[in-house]
Amino acid sequence: MTNFSTATSIAHNVASGAQSAASVVEEHLQRIGQREEEVHAFNLVTSAEARERAADLDARIARGENVGPLAGVPIALKDNMCTRGVPTTCSSKILEGWKPPYNATVVDKLFAAGAVFVGKTNLDEFAMGSSTENSAFGPTRNPLDTSRVPGGSSGGSAAAVAAGFAAVSLGSDTGGSIRQPAALCGVVGVKPTYGLVSRYGLVAFASSLDQIGPFSHSVADAALLTEIIAGHDPMDSTSIPKPAPSLVSVLGRGVEGMRIGRVADLPEGADADVLARLDAAFVALEKAGATIVDVKLPSLSYALTAYYLIAPAEASSNLARYDGVRYGNRVAANDMNTMYADTRAAGFGDEVKRRIMLGTYALSAGYYDAYYGKALKVRRLISNDFAAAYANADVILTPTSPTVAFPFGAKTDDPLTMYLCDIFTIPTNLAGHPAMSVPFGTGQANMPVGVQILAPTLGEEAMFKVAAVLESAA
């Protein structure tokens, strides 16, 4: 894995005048030019806008202005976050060419912090997938081995950072869509507490599960990005009415005296090489002064089933608006019903159609209580189990992904095998808790393995303390 400059070091150099924002942008655009055709991390590269923005930042710095903590840092955005006047497609034909009239809150926050946007990244269509093979605009490839997937749904954002196309990026995580690709691409990925980061301007998949978070090369960069994008937003009714947490300041405090939970009844499915790295992580934390405690999460084995009822149910409701009238590209027809059918048939890919149908069925009369209602009860059980576990542990460690990055096409013929990629990440979304993936060595084919750190609601400080120690040990 190549060593690229961190966002923290870039911002320091640009703000101090040691390096110009323009030269930083050119360096990253050059890398994009060299490998983007091979990797396909982006749906759109905003070269002209990035150069113009960098020149403006350099002029402001020359005048003595403080341009923010991300001065000149190149950042990529998942293509389901609204950018005013810049196409936002969700990697779907139904939104191809759509230009939002406003920015997502996180976009405005990054802009105010001095970041430079270099493009919109590819994803599984409407964030539904675990491999970025479901994009209407073609798959993204893992920069570390282009015969393998980068994970999903935020595969483009993970690949952009892993390839050095951007110093940092943003993704969205509904069931593991930041953490799983972070693990497969060997970068840091964070899903904050639900409501800590505004969802305003994020195109919805499943509204009670979606959360925006960063990808980065270092834990320090991830902490900085989370601080910048977090905080209350009156435009999001689910936003927590609290200020952003202080995370960068806790990174050097270590884990002396902390209790690290090991799940005694961890669901089966993880490969031996992944479990070996998890064991090594426990050893490293114990050496650093933490105590390893066993915890039980008996409802965890039902999380996948509950998720694949709740998420499709919410998706079927959220995606009803894409009908060629309210939103989405229209297919012309002689009558309204035919137009609706033809528009959605042409606009949505197979996985999106599958989840819409599954969700509509789960919400239909006669089945609502048997499926959706029961899934919500399981969601409550999972939250209760986590609450009991966190009474004995400050954080919990699990694998992020059950396997390293797998070859293209290995799981596309059987959706269930693809869904099982998220077996360790989904429970956190159901509970609304924070979690992150930290690279911790390699497994089969010398591909990276990620260790997942789970924490209770607003437990980001403890989570980042552990992440910093694991990063040093790795």
Residues carrying an active site annotation: 78, 153, 177
Residue 262, SS3 per DSSP: strand
Q: Residues 162-199: pLDDT tens digits?
A: 999 999 999 999 999 999 999 999 999 999 999 999 99
| Residue tagged 């009908």 (tokens) | 323
**Percent of the chain's residues with pLDDT above 90:** 97
pLDDT at 412: 87
Cβ within 8 Å of residue 427, ≥6 positions away: 297, 300, 303, 382, 386
322 located within any domain? no
Burial class (CB in 10 A: 0-12, 13-18, 19+), 115: buried
221 located within any domain? yes
- Domain containing 147 equals 7-250
Alpha-carbon distances, residue 390 vs 48, 250, 251, 393, 465 (angstroms): 49, 20, 21, 5, 16
- Judge whether residue 391 has pLDDT over 60: yes
- Judge whether residue 1 has pLDDT over 70: no
pLDDT at 3: 83
Residue 110's CATH number: 3.90.1300.10
In the predicted model, what is the mean pLDDT of residues 30-39? 98
**Percent of the chain's residues with pLDDT above 70:** 100
171: enclosing H helix or E strand: strand 168-173
267 located within any domain? no
- With beta carbons less than 8 A apart as the criterion, state whether 324 and 340 touch: yes
Main-chain phi, psi angles of 411, to 5 degrees: -125, 5
- For the ranges 122-131, 163-172, 341-350, 414-423, the lowest mean pLDDT is seen at 414-423
38 located within any domain? yes
Q: Residues 206-258: pLDDT tens digits?
A: 999 999 999 999 999 999 999 999 999 999 999 999 999 999 999 999 999 99
| Number of CB atoms found within 10 A of residue 407's CB | 12
434 located within any domain? no
Distance of CA 204 to the CA centre of its chain: 14
288 located within any domain? no
Cβ within 8 Å of residue 472, ≥6 positions away: none
Q: Residues 35-53: pLDDT tens digits?
A: 999 999 999 999 999 999 9
Q: In the chain, how many domains are there?
A: 1
Classify residue 64 as left (phi > 0), alpha (psi -120 to 50) or beta.
left
In the predicted model, what is the mean pLDDT of residues 66-85? 98
pLDDT at 155: 98
- Judge whether residue 272 has pLDDT over 90: yes
- Judge whether residue 148 has pLDDT over 60: yes
In the predicted model, what is the mean pLDDT of residues 55-81? 98
Mean residue pLDDT across the chain: 97
419 located within any domain? no
398 located within any domain? no
- Judge whether residue 2 has pLDDT over 80: no
Rounded to whole angstroms, how far apart are CA atoms 24 and 399? Answer: 35
